[in-house]
Chains A and B, each alone.
Chain A
Amino acid sequence: MRMLRVGRWITAIALLLLVGVYVRALVFTPVERMQGLAQKIYYLHVPAAIWTETAMVLVGIASVFYLFLKDPRLDRFAAASAEVGVVFAAVVLTTGPIWGKPIWGTWWSWDARLTSMLFLFLLYVGYLLLRSAVADPATRARYAAVLGICGMGLVPFIHFSVYLFRTLHPMPIILKPSAPSMPGSMVATALFSVGVFTLLYVGFVVQRYALSYLREQLEAAGEVGHA
């Protein structure tokens, strides 16, 4: 299957480039004076967060269109994007506390940004569980689309929560109307990492989409349970 091969190649290249991000962050990017080496967690945490939010918005958009068009390709894409979004959210929710411990002095704080991100993660875990619990493909896609649209509504709240509430979480450093609040070499590493996560997202989604398609074929032939 051509799509699967393409997805695997993109993923393999993206994982190699991720090693490049690590090397660039460790060797060619200056150490921040106040935070020390822990600041370099930023180059993994922030791109993963950007693509978690983007993945969930894309789930919501595909879900809206699915409810109007009933095209199974949109449902397949939404399922793929949701699963990849959950994986990226897991990266965000593990690297964040590891940065928080040396910088804040605590692993976790129940503030608006952290709590809403955890809620988004759990909501999409629920989305995936819902998909595996409903047997009828049309019903499954419709229920999942409604939940996917609800999840999309949470994303702007997460992004703007640092402005709306008093939180421990820092304000955006790159994704803001004014110029980035860090030196050019740090911005370059962060943007390189965002590019690599973009490639990872595409590679993962293409593979996951192909997997759903394969399972649907087997399901139609009555060989396996639903995806």
Chain B
Amino acid sequence: MPENGNYMIAAYILGGVILVGYALSLYLRTRRSLRP
């Protein structure tokens, strides 16, 4: 079986960072819009 687990880990980390980063960006943008 090929040893390529590091590629899987990299993909999972990058995918997670993109999705969590976008969720955070939405949170910050809406908070800024709600600020009086």
Q: Which residues of A contact B (CB under 8 A)?
A: 1, 4, 7-8, 11, 15, 18, 22, 31, 33-38, 40-41, 44-45, 48, 84, 87, 90-91, 94-95, 98-99, 101-102, 200, 203-204, 207-208, 210-211, 214-215, 218, 224
C-alpha spacing A44/B4, complex, angstroms: 16
Select which of A87, A98, A203 is within 8 A of B18 by beta carbon. Answer: A87
Q: Which residues of B contact A (CB under 8 A)?
A: 1-5, 7-8, 10-12, 14-16, 18-20, 22-23, 26-27, 29-30, 33-34
CB pair A102–B18 under 8 Å, yes or no, is no
CB pair A90–B18 under 8 Å, yes or no, is yes
Select which of A15, A45, A90, A94 is within 8 A of B23 by beta carbon. Answer: A15
Enumerate chain B residues within 8 angstroms of A102, measured Cβ to Cβ. 2, 4, 7
A37 to chain B, nearest CB (A): 4
Enumerate chain A residues within 8 angstroms of B15, measured Cβ to Cβ. 44, 48, 91, 94-95
Q: A4-B30, A207-B30, A215-B33 are in contact. Are A37 and B19 (CB under 8 A)?
A: no
C-alpha spacing A207/B11, complex, angstroms: 26
CB pair B1–A38 under 8 Å, yes or no, is no
CB pair A37–B8 under 8 Å, yes or no, is yes
C-alpha spacing A166/B26, complex, angstroms: 40
Chain A contact residues: over half helix, strand or loop, or mixed? helix
A105 to chain B, nearest CB (A): 12
CB pair B19–A18 under 8 Å, yes or no, is yes
A118 to chain B, nearest CB (A): 16
Q: A8-B27, A204-B26 are in contact. Are A99 and B7 (CB under 8 A)?
A: yes
CB pair A38–B30 under 8 Å, yes or no, is no
C-alpha spacing A44/B16, complex, angstroms: 9
CB pair A22–B26 under 8 Å, yes or no, is no
